[in-house]
Amino acid sequence: MSDSSHVFPVDRTREGIVILMTGLFFFSFQDIIVKLLSDKYNVLQIVLIRSCIALIFLALIGLFTIGSHAVFAKQPLLLFVKGVATFFAFLFYYLAIPSLPLADIVAIAFMSPILMTVLSVLILKEYVGPRRWAAIIIGFVGVLIVVGPSGNLANLGSLLAFGCACSYAISSVLTRFIDQGDEPITIAIYSMLAFLVMSILLTFFSLKFSPEEITNPSMQFLFREWVRPDAREMLLLFLIGCIATVGFYCLGRAYLVAPASHVAPFEYTYIIWAVILSFLFFNEIPKLTTLIGVSILVGSSLYIWYRESKAA
């Protein structure tokens, strides 16, 4: 069943935007924790522990809110495939963290709203007016400004961030093909299940094909030996699982209640949290180009919201 023929109430666009921004706010704290752990842990160890914790919480929430059918999806294969795409989006994003400043990673990764909008037109046949297209293009210019003239576009970190953008765009568009009978909590449960399965499979792969000498920090993050967490680190890993529980539910909900082309531009607001938290936790002072680019991104998103408000 394709959602391309489904008519979304215009007055739910704001709801979808607010839910999306809430999920992104929580996910921004996850980035800080991953960066704190990236020089000691294997990324797959982090993802696997996070997935186990989040899967337990999501299953419990589903059982207590909507009953046992929360774990039985109408389209389990589609939900799992969506979860795999989301898994690679997060994996690529995390792997880029040791190689690039967080603001640059977020800026490159946030080409995804542009890709989502294009896919929503080509696949879902959603209408995107010229003013919204102009705002999206301006938002992309803001991304380029954040990256800066040098851009760091030649290193592995930038390629990983771009891979994140592609994977996340595919995941978000797949959400629109999900049967409306599947609850957001069910979508989140299957996403976490996909995370768990894929992290286990890639762990076996990394153990078998680990290179002897690794100099790139992103690859070290992928092939590093697993370690036993101490009490503080276990608390951080548990917190990541809690964040994933809230974040994945919000993202699943947002793209079910409003068209992707309306909600997607507000993914840009994630950059604001990344810049603020990077400064607070790592004393990373944003460059002038970063501030200018972020301002353009925010401005374009607010303009789109204004246009949707007038349409309502």
State mean pLDDT over 196-217.
Answer: 86
Least confident of 60-69, 164-173, 180-189: 180-189
Alpha-carbon gap, residue 296 to 299, rounded angstroms:
5
Structure confidence at residue 301 (pLDDT): 65
State mean pLDDT over 99-128.
Answer: 76
Query: Which residues, in sequence order, are CB contacts of 65 under 8 Å at separation 6+?
Result: 185
Its pTM stands at 0.81
Range of the domain at 49: 25-311
Residue 77 token pair: 């294969």
Residue 3 pLDDT level (bands cut at 50, 70, 90): very low
| Residue 5 falls inside a structural domain | no
Q: How many angstroms from the chain centroid is the CA of residue 23?
A: 9
For the chain, what is the domain count?
1
Of 205 and 44, more confident:
44
| Residue 1 falls inside a structural domain | no
State mean pLDDT over 273-290.
Answer: 80
Alpha-carbon gap, residue 249 to 264, rounded angstroms:
16
Residue 5 pLDDT level (bands cut at 50, 70, 90): very low
Of 109 and 124, more confident:
109
Of 97 and 285, more confident:
97
Structure confidence at residue 284 (pLDDT): 76
Structure confidence at residue 149 (pLDDT): 55
Whether 212 has a pLDDT exceeding 60, the answer reads yes
Handedness of CA 148, 154, 156, 162 (dihedral sign): positive
State mean pLDDT over 253-278.
Answer: 78
Q: How many angstroms from the chain centroid is the CA of residue 210?
A: 27
Least confident of 16-30, 114-128, 210-224, 298-312: 298-312
| Residue 20 falls inside a structural domain | no
Query: Which residues, in sequence order, are CB contacts of 69 under 8 Å at separation 6+?
Result: none
Whether 241 has a pLDDT exceeding 80, the answer reads yes
| Residue 71 falls inside a structural domain | yes
The 3-state secondary structure of the chain, one letter per residue: CCHHHCCCCHHHHHHHHHHHHHHHHHHHHHHHHHHHHCCCCCHHHHHHHHHHHHHHHHHHHHHHHCCHHHHCCCCHHHHHHHHHHHHHHHHHHHHHCCCCCHHHHHHHHCCHHHHHHHHHHHCCCCCCCHHHHHHHHHHHHHHHHHHCCCCCCCCHHHHHHHHHHHHHHHHHHHHCCCCCCCCHHHHHHHHHHHHHHHHHHHHHHHHHCCCCCCCCHHHHHHHCCCCCCCHHHHHHHHHHHHHHHHHHHHHHHHHHHCCHHHHHHHHHHHHHHHHHHHHHHHCCCCCHHHHHHHHHHHHHHHHHHHHHHHHC
| Residue 7 falls inside a structural domain | no
Alpha-carbon gap, residue 89 to 172, rounded angstroms:
11
Whether 7 has a pLDDT exceeding 50, the answer reads no
Residue 251 pLDDT level (bands cut at 50, 70, 90): confident
> How many residues does this entry show for the chain?
312
Question: What mean pLDDT is reported for the chain?
Answer: 81
| Residue 119 falls inside a structural domain | yes
| Residue 176 falls inside a structural domain | yes
| Residue 238 falls inside a structural domain | yes
Whether 103 has a pLDDT exceeding 80, the answer reads no
Alpha-carbon gap, residue 233 to 74, rounded angstroms:
38
